[in-house]
Structure 1
Amino acid sequence: MKVVCVGGGPAGLYLSILLKRQHPSHDITVHERNPEGSTYGWGVTYWRTFLDRLHTHDPESARAVEAASVRWRDGVAHVRGLTTRHRGDEGCAIGRHRLLEILADRARSLGVRLEYRHETDPARLPAADLVVAADGVGSALRTRYAGHFGTVRRTGRNPYLWLGTSKEFDSFTFAFAETAHGWIWAYGYGYAPERSTCVVECEPRAFTGLGLDRRPAPDTLALLQRLFAGVLEGHPLTARPAADDGAPWQTFRTLTNRTWSHGNLVLLGDAAHTTHYSIGAGTTLALEDAMALAAALRTHPALPDALAHYERRRKAALLPVQSAARHSAQWYENLPRYIDLPPERMFALLGQRHSPLLPHVPPQLYYRLDRAAGHLEPLRRLKRWLGPRLARTVHARQTPDG
């Protein structure tokens, strides 16, 4: 099979690795429009269970990823001068640059051709048995056939900014700062020695009230360093360059598609779907897409059957994740509902933000019920029963007809 993958991010590179491992005779080329080594972002997160899956699918790249990753178990929240800490499952992070380097080296070692600075014309698909659109949320290939794919975008409410810092967070850190114009908060996690990601998010009224919509990047970073001085401990924040010298604030775009394939063209990763960054699953889901597509191509000789199976399997797997991401984003969009709780209760509900039940129950009552549910099986069963039903109801209301 001749395969062309458009997009040299984690999803495209990992798919090329898996396909080459399945059939070394496959002719596989990855086209990436940017120079090698240039990428956005700082660190990406994943969980230990996902690392185990990487070891199952390609032990060699998994060992390299594991060796280059940092780990944490604690979550820490800072609010109004108080700090609360919770113990959780093992989380992991790796620098995006390092992850791409590992995957590119592994793909080359297997015989995949990597062509950087290669712009693909969306009006003329490459000559191949299979063309994979792994070119991200702004996918030119998907956009060319948006009517067929049934692409839907929903824009979130809160502005956010993706930053880096030399402060090495040893726990997944949340910091909430109250200003005269509303709340602004940061999520921080380490991904390498003296390297951490720091995502800043705020209420829309804080965004305009603090002048973040018009400040140049140096002034924005200086303000944020003052607001989060307590957790940064003197370390600077850094941002990616922006063409207009402004800090590159965004509002998150949740993207879905009615179908994921068009003839021999198939969507992968962010080109097919996005989930809110607050659940830290974007890269994990993209690599799981690659695993599922490779498996479908292995077990279904006819390409249409393989692509249909891949789409069904991934859409079903994504439903609970997308629900969790939607409720996580809404938790932050409704932060004033929770922020006045005692810090340990607020942080406990932060950990429960994926629950479809939480928005419909007063926070103090939910906290007490959740604590009780840990000891009473009937309450646990009630929570499990109500949650999916509320999720389906909300999803049905938010899904456009057709």
Structure 2
Amino acid sequence: MKIACVGGGPAGLYFSILMKRQDPDHDITVHERNPAGSTYGWGVTYWGSLLDKLQAGDPESARVVKESSVRWSDGVAHIGDRTTTHHGDEGYGIGRRQLLDLLAERARSLGVHVEFEHEIADGDPLPDADLVVAGDGVHSGVRERHAGHFGTEVALGRNKYIWLGTTKVFDAFTFAFVETPHGWIWCYAYGFSGEHSTCVVECSPQTWTGLGLDRADEATGLALLEGLFVKLLDGHGLIGRANTGGGAQWLNFRTLTNRTWSHGNVVLLGDAAHTTHYSIGAGTTLALEDAIALADALYAQPQLAPALAAYEKERKADLLAVQSAARHSAQWYEDLPRYIGLPPDRMFALLGQRHSPLLPYVPPQLYYRIDRAAGQLETLRRLKRWLGPKVARTLHAKRG
């Protein structure tokens, strides 16, 4: 089979690796518009379950990714002058550029053609191939050629966020909430190498404009944020967008969905097919899981159309719970004033339960008590699971 992957992100590269391992005779080319070593963002996160899937698909990729990642098992929340720590599951961080370099090198070693600075521009014909994989991101040009067919929909989140780096190396997944005269502003920070961490800053639009961040240039904005998070950063600075010519930008998160994921011999992968709010840290994992599912479907079904249909059906089903969790997580941060006055341990407990559909409808103190009891008693745990969607739907109907 001749395969063209448009976009050299983790999903396209890993898909090419899996297909070459299935059959070395596949003719596969990855077309990436940016130069080698040029990527946006800083570090990405994942959990141990992804390593298990990478190990099953390609042990060599799993080995080098794990060896190049940093690990943490604690979560720390700084709320004003208060701090609490939670011991949880082991997580991993790796630089996005390093992840792409590792996957590109592995793909080349298997015979994949990885072509950098090769953009498939608007109006250009798509590559001549049996299968064209659109892994070119949330703004996918390949998808936009047939936007009506794919049924693309985009919903913008209310809060503003910016993706930054810092030389402060965090040894735990860290949250910091800072009160300002214009409302709360907060960040998520985690290490991804021995030299750098990712720092994602978020706030309401009212806080953003009140602080003047809507009018500040990048240098002024970074200086303002460094002052707000001075205790967290411990003397280290914040850094704008890495490895690109442009500066870091404040954005509203784009939740993207598509009615269908394929059109003829074109199929969507990763962010071109779907996005999930960054606050659950699943974007890279979901993209790689897409790649695994697509490769598996093509192996199980030699006919292209049934294989693409099976891939879409499987991934849409798998994504339902994740997308629901992401929506509730984003809403929790948009409703932050409801929870920010709680004692740190309770605030952190609700932070960990922000994916629950029940939270927007139950007073925070009551939900915290239910959750603590449910952690100890199986009967109440079953009751909480039963109450969650039923009560949420009932209250939602009454509010409507």
Q: Could you say which TM-score interval applies, normalised by the shorter chain?
A: over 0.9
Other-structure match for 1:105: 105
Q: Would the alpha carbon gap of residues 6 and 390 (structure 1) be closer, same or farther in structure 2, given more than 3 Å must change?
A: farther
How far does residue 157 in structure 1 lie from its aligned partner after superposition? 0.5
Other-structure match for 1:231: 232
- Give, as a single letter, the amino acid of the residue that structure 1 aligns with 2:100: L
Q: Would the alpha carbon gap of residues 122 and 309 (structure 1) be closer, same or farther in structure 2, given more than 3 Å must change?
A: farther
How far does residue 328 in structure 1 lie from its aligned partner after superposition? 0.4
Structure 2 residue 10 is matched with structure 1 residue 10:
yes
Other-structure match for 1:143: 144
- Give, as a single letter, the amino acid of the residue that structure 2 aligns with 1:259: T
Structure 2 residue 393 is matched with structure 1 residue 382:
no
- Give, as a single letter, the amino acid of the residue that structure 1 aligns with 2:194: P
How far does residue 242 in structure 1 lie from its aligned partner after superposition? 11
Other-structure match for 1:94: 94
Deviations, residues 130-186 of structure 1 (Å, cap 9, x unaligned): 000000000001111110000000000000000000000000000001000011001
- Give, as a single letter, the amino acid of the residue that structure 1 aligns with 2:107: A
How far does residue 247 in structure 1 lie from its aligned partner after superposition? 4.4
Is residue 156–residue 251 contact of structure 1 (8 Å, CA) maintained in 2? yes
Unaligned runs of 5+ in 2: none
Q: Distance in 2 between matches of 1:109 and 1:243?
A: 27
Q: Distance in 2 between matches of 1:84 and 1:50?
A: 28
How far does residue 386 in structure 1 lie from its aligned partner after superposition? 3.1
Name the SS of the counterpart of 2:39 in structure 1. Answer: coil
- Give, as a single letter, the amino acid of the residue that structure 1 aligns with 2:108: R
Moved over 4 A (4+): 241-247, 388-396
Q: Would the alpha carbon gap of residues 271 and 395 (structure 1) be closer, same or farther in structure 2, given more than 3 Å must change?
A: farther
Other-structure match for 1:21: 21
Is residue 137–residue 272 contact of structure 2 (8 Å, CA) maintained in 1? yes
How many percent identity over aligned positions?
Answer: 71
Q: Distance in 1 between matches of 2:233 and 2:308?
A: 47
Q: Would the alpha carbon gap of residues 395 and 289 (structure 1) be closer, same or farther in structure 2, given more than 3 Å must change?
A: farther
Other-structure match for 1:201: 202
How far does residue 395 in structure 1 lie from its aligned partner after superposition? 11
How far does residue 29 in structure 1 lie from its aligned partner after superposition? 0.3
Name the SS of the counterpart of 1:291 in structure 2. Answer: helix
How far does residue 240 in structure 1 lie from its aligned partner after superposition? 1.4
Name the SS of the counterpart of 1:192 in structure 2. Answer: coil
Q: Distance in 2 between matches of 1:51 and 1:350?
A: 25
Is residue 33–residue 120 contact of structure 1 (8 Å, CA) maintained in 2? yes
Is residue 214–residue 246 contact of structure 1 (8 Å, CA) maintained in 2? no
Paired positions, count:
397
How far does residue 391 in structure 1 lie from its aligned partner after superposition? 7.2
Is residue 150–residue 263 contact of structure 2 (8 Å, CA) maintained in 1? yes
- Give, as a single letter, the amino acid of the residue that structure 2 aligns with 1:283: T
Unaligned runs of 5+ in 1: 397-402
Q: Would the alpha carbon gap of residues 149 and 240 (structure 1) be closer, same or farther in structure 2, given more than 3 Å must change?
A: same
Moved more, 118-127 or 279-288: 118-127
Other-structure match for 1:400: none
Q: Distance in 2 between matches of 1:387 and 1:262?
A: 38
What's the Cα RMSD here?
Answer: 1.9
Deviations, residues 367-395 of structure 1 (Å, cap 9, x unaligned): 00101111222221122223345678899
TM-score (norm: length of structure 1):
0.96
TM-score (norm: length of structure 2):
0.96
Q: Distance in 1 between matches of 2:130 and 2:393?
A: 38
Q: Distance in 1 between matches of 2:267 and 2:311?
A: 10
Name the SS of the counterpart of 1:250 in structure 2. Answer: coil
Name the SS of the counterpart of 2:157 in structure 1. Answer: strand
Q: Would the alpha carbon gap of residues 347 and 382 (structure 1) be closer, same or farther in structure 2, given more than 3 Å must change?
A: same
Name the SS of the counterpart of 2:159 in structure 1. Answer: strand
Q: Distance in 2 between matches of 1:150 and 1:39?
A: 28
Deviations, residues 71-106 of structure 1 (Å, cap 9, x unaligned): 001000001201000000000010101100100000
Q: Distance in 1 between matches of 2:59 and 2:245?
A: 43
Other-structure match for 1:73: 73
Other-structure match for 1:173: 174
Other-structure match for 2:36: 36
Is residue 216–residue 247 contact of structure 1 (8 Å, CA) maintained in 2? no
Q: Distance in 1 between matches of 2:72 and 2:275?
A: 25
Q: Distance in 2 between matches of 1:82 and 1:191?
A: 25
